[in-house]
């Protein structure tokens, strides 16, 4: 009986940390994929306005925690960094200068991308 108790205790002591590590790893992967999807949607929309297929686009996006959007000249960069070390950087160059009018907050955002005087202007407004 004592051997069974020792065996079960050992299984729990080893199994629970391994299970928590696996859950944490899956959570990190999900957050990374959310940031990557956000980046893809932003870059695709900016490209459509940049190449003239649309004069203005409005998107409803969820900005993941740890995501930052920056512009420098005609380059737009989406950077993701979480507290556990997962990170990603997605950069695209466009034909026109890029201006971020209002940096995004974390969470659900209404994103507007429009061309004003040959400048791609990206603005965010809270949807909630």
108 pLDDT higher than 70: yes
| Burial class (CB within 10 angstroms; exposed 0-12, middle 13-18, buried 19+) of 63 | buried
pLDDT digits 0-9 by tens, 26-50: 565 678 888 999 999 999 999 999 9
Q: Are strands 97-100 and 119-126 parallel, antiparallel or unpaired?
A: parallel
- Check residues 31 and 93 and name the one with the higher pLDDT: 93
**pLDDT score recorded for residue 82:** 83
The larger pLDDT score, comparing residue 76 to residue 23, is at: 76
Contact 64, 31 (CB under 8 A): yes
Angle at Cα 54 formed by Cα 49 and Cα 57, nearest 5°?
75
Closest CA to 79 of 26, 35, 42: 35
Question: What are the domain boundaries of the chain?
Answer: 2-126
CA distances from residue 33 to 23, 87, 101, 113, 114 in whole angstroms, order as listed: 15, 11, 25, 23, 26
Entry pTM: 0.77
């Amino acid at each position: 009986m004592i051997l069974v108790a020792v065996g079960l205790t050992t299984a729990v002591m080893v199994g629970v940390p391994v299970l928590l590590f696996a859950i944490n790893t899956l959570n990190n992967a999900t957050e990374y994929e959310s940031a990557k999807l956000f980046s893809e949607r932003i870059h695709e929309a900016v490209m459509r306005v940049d190449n003239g297929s649309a004069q203005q686009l409005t998107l409803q996006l969820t900005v993941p925690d740890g995501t930052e959007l920056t512009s420098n000249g005609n380059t737009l960069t989406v950077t993701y960094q979480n507290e556990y070390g997962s990170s990603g950087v997605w950069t695209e160059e466009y034909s026109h200068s890029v201006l971020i009018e209002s940096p995004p907050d974390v969470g659900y955002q209404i994103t507007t991308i429009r061309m004003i005087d040959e400048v791609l202007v990206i603005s965010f407004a809270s949807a909630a």
